[in-house]
Amino acid sequence: MSILPLVLKDVFVRRRGKRLLGPVSLSLAPGGCTIILGPNGSGKTTLLKVMHGVERISSGRVAWAVPDREARHHQGYVFQTPIMLRRSVGDNLRYPLQLRKTPKALVEAQVRDWAHRIGLQDRMTLPATRLSGGEKQRLALGRALIRRPEVLFLDEPCANLDGPSTRAIEALLQEAQDAGTRVIMTTHNFGQAKRLATDAIFMLDGAVRESGPAQAFFATPQTPELQAFFRGDIIG
């Protein structure tokens, strides 16, 4: 049974009397890649964390198609700055499978497979903390995907990466989509958004200002704010 759709209804996040997010109402169905765009401070990361369940909401409702406890087991999250366990590359990949008590033979087969997919098959015994920035991000992505999550959240996964590393990350994300993983991702990279998105959300001042299928969203933006954002104007 799918954990989707994910439905947000009149969601607000307030901290110390300040509104960080809201009102947000949206529904995300299975399949595809949702790209969340907006200027710095627009609420993109807060929205991502609310959907993942790691940001407490002040009011409103966030609901999966299954109980939250079950939904959590079928999600992954990749941070902008990848978090590495102080273990080898191989052990970083093994860890999520070991938490699920996956049989050892299956763990090793999947670790070998994913090490090859992320291009780190020759670095299995190297401490993960010694990897380059692009390698760390590929490892973080592989560690999230090795559990075959139904939904994967990513916060600016290609920020500060060079072209080859960005291409490698995008290829992995496309493979994940093709395998059935629902991708929900923030980015500042307009080109990347157009390459990956099947639908898109534009955030400004903590609220969703425009959303829709990618083709129409990028070709014919409806709001003056999104039109200005696409022109490169300073907004917000």
Residue keyed to tokens 């299954």: 66
Question: 206 and 91, same structural domain?
Answer: no
Number of domains making up the chain: 2
| pLDDT tier for residue 1 given thresholds of 50, 70 and 90 | confident
Question: 53 and 144, same structural domain?
Answer: yes
Question: 36 and 146, same structural domain?
Answer: yes
Question: 16 and 73, same structural domain?
Answer: yes
Question: 102 and 214, same structural domain?
Answer: no
For 181-200, what is each residue's pLDDT tens digit? 999 999 989 999 999 999 99
Query: Can you give the residue range of the structural domain that contains 29?
Result: 6-84+131-231
For 39-90, what is each residue's pLDDT tens digit? 999 999 999 999 999 999 999 999 999 999 999 999 999 999 999 999 999 9
CA–CA gap between residue 226 and residue 11 (Å, rounded): 22
Whole-angstrom CA distances from 235 to 157, 203, 205, 210, 226 are 23, 11, 10, 15, 9
The candidate with the shortest Cα–Cα distance to 205, out of 9, 24, 2, is 24
β-pair type (182-186, 18-28):
unpaired
* CATH number, residue 205: 3.40.50.300
Q: Quick check: is 236 in a domain?
A: no
Whole-angstrom CA distances from 65 to 1, 72, 185 are 9, 12, 20
Question: 49 and 166, same structural domain?
Answer: yes
pTM (2 decimals)? 0.95
Question: 63 and 151, same structural domain?
Answer: yes
Encoded tokens for 80: 């902008």
| pLDDT tier for residue 236 given thresholds of 50, 70 and 90 | confident
Contact between 11 and 4 under an 8 Å Cβ cutoff? The reply is no
